[in-house]
Amino acid sequence: MCGRLAVTLPNDAMAQLFAAQPSNDLPDVPNFNVCPTTLVHTVRREDGRRQLAPMRWGFIPHWYESPAGGPLLINARAETIADKPAFKAACRARRCLIPASGFYEWTKDQEGGRDPWYLKARDGAPLAFAGIWQDWEMNGDRHRTCAIVTTAANTSISAIHHRMPVILSTENWPLWLGEQGKGAALLMQAAPEELLTFHRVDRAVNSNRATGADLIEPIST
């Protein structure tokens, strides 16, 4: 799965990278501890152009009676996304990119303690995760929500976790966003082995209240 992100690219640079029109209510950056149910940056196609705008990280199906009306859906499995009632319509028609500088995964030590790892592109470039989105409204409460698409981890990442986000290369952004016809399903695969690198970070990031650039700094193990 993917349950925590870091986003450090300035909003104007992010808009330029994705050739997207930025909204005026984007989340503050840098943020080294982006948590579920908070706002994340997303890129989607609207009115013939790309929009960079915030969405709530945690997909809310239309039948939920409240944002907490069922399981928290922060990830959507690539293997079942086209069949799951919560996700299948969004998979066909409401796809987005979710930018990140990196993400966290955890392993357990012999005592059951959770050791965090930070994963990022080997060349330091921003990542673009495949995402899906959904508008939800009930009794005047409105949210635009999203989930990150995940797949089975490649060999190197499986040492930490058996799942990983679907990471889209620049040339595949148009296809995922519906700008280049059909075939987006073919993109839901693990990233190449050489794309990512990872290192242990301090357990401070285990708290969703933790902040600061120190969260992604390597520690000795």
Q: How many CB atoms lie within 10 A of CB 21?
A: 14
Distance CA 99, CA 79 (A): 22
Contact (CB, 8 A) for 57 and 146? yes
| Spatial CA neighbour of 131 closest among 202, 76, 54 | 76
pLDDT, residue 90, reads 97
Amino acid identity at 167 = I
pLDDT, residue 139, reads 86
Please report, in tens digits, the pLDDT of each residue of the chain (221 residues total): 789 999 999 999 999 999 999 999 999 999 999 999 999 999 999 999 999 999 999 999 999 999 999 999 999 999 999 999 999 999 999 999 999 999 999 998 888 889 999 999 999 999 999 999 999 999 889 999 999 999 999 999 999 999 999 999 999 999 999 998 889 999 999 999 999 999 999 999 999 999 999 999 999 86
Question: Scanning the structure block, which residue is given the tokens 């987006």?
Answer: 184
Torsion sign across C-alpha atoms 90, 155, 208, 101:
negative
pLDDT, residue 201, reads 97
Q: What is the pLDDT of residues 176-218, one digit of tens each?
A: 999 988 899 999 999 999 999 999 999 999 999 999 999 999 9
Q: How many CB atoms lie within 10 A of CB 218?
A: 12
pLDDT, residue 221, reads 67
In terms of CATH, what superfamily is 5-216?
A: SOS response associated peptidase-like (3.90.1680.10)
DSSP per-residue letters across 26-61: PPPS-EEEE-TTSEEEEEEEETTEEEEEEEEESB--
What is the residue extent of each domain of the chain?
A: 5-216
**Residue 85 vs residues 61, 80, 81: alpha-carbon distances, Å:** 9, 10, 9
CA dihedral (20, 81, 58, 141) in degrees, to 10, reads 90
Distance CA 15, CA 69 (A): 33
Residue 77 phi/psi, 5-degree rounding, is: -75, 130
**Residue by residue, what is the 3-state secondary structure of 131-171?**
EEEEEEEECCEEEEEEEEEEEECCCCHHHCCCEEECECCHH
